Amino acid sequence: EPREDEVSSARGKCAVLMLIYVFLFVTFYVVDKAGFIDVKALRRQVASAPPVLGFSLWLVTFCVGELVHVPGFLFVGVAVYLLGPVSGGLLSYCGAVISASVSFLLIRGSVGPILDDASIPYTEWVLGKLRDAPICTMVCLRFIFGMGPSLVFFLAVSSVSFGNYLLSTMLGLPLPMFCMVVVFHFFLGEDADVVPPQV
C-alpha cells in the first residue's frame, strides 16, 4: 500500500492543480466582464488574419503544450474565447486529436511500450483491460481524464496500437470537449461567434 507521505503528496498536487484551474477560470471571467479587453475587436482581428497561419501557430503551441504537460483546456479556452463555442469547439476538437496523436507517436518512438514490462502498483488492472478491450477502455479513460497529458503518456508507453489509440481518441474526446466548451462559454459570455472566421 502507498505510504502516508506519498498519499499526502498526491493530495497536495491535486489541490494545487485545482487551485490553478479555479484561478484561470476566474481570471478569464474577470478580464472578460471588466472590459479590460475588447473581445469583439479581438475576434474581428483573429477572423481577418490568415486562417492557415493562425491555426498552425495555435496547433504547434497545443502540441508542445501537450508534451510539457500543459493542461489542454487552456487551449480550448483560448479558441472559445476568440472564435466562440461553435468555431472554437470544432477547432479545439481537431487540434486535440492532432496534438494527442503527435504526442503519442513522439513518446512511443522515443521510449517504446515499456509499461507492460514494468511492475508498477495499481496499473495491472488497467493494463489488463487495455489488452482485453483496448478501444472501449481508452474511450472510458478519455471520458474521465479528457485531454490529460498524463493519459497520453500512459497509453503511449503501454502496448496499445496507434490505430486503436487514434480511434478511441476521436470517439472519447467529444463529450469532455463539449463540457469544456460549455463551461468556457458560460464564463466568457454569450456573445460568441458574432464574427464568422474568414476563409
Profile the chain (199 residues) by mean pLDDT over runs of 10 residues: 52 59 62 57 60 76 78 80 84 91 90 73 78 92 86 88 95 91 75 42
The grid coordinates of residue 67 equal 508534451
Residue 16: the pLDDT is: 61
Q: How many helices (H) and strands (E) does the chain have?
A: 9, 0
CA 142 to chain centre: 10
Residue 166: the pLDDT is: 95
Cβ neighbours of 78 (radius 10 Å) = 18
The grid coordinates of residue 175 equal 463529450
Which residues make Cβ contacts (< 8 Å) with residue 57, sequence separation at least 6? none
The grid coordinates of residue 193 equal 461567434
pTM of the model: 0.69
> CA 73, CA 185: separation in Å to the nearest integer?
13
> CA 17, CA 4: separation in Å to the nearest integer?
20
Which residues make Cβ contacts (< 8 Å) with residue 62, sequence separation at least 6? 72, 75, 95, 96, 98, 99
The grid coordinates of residue 24 equal 484561470
Residue 198: the pLDDT is: 41
> CA 161, CA 183: separation in Å to the nearest integer?
33
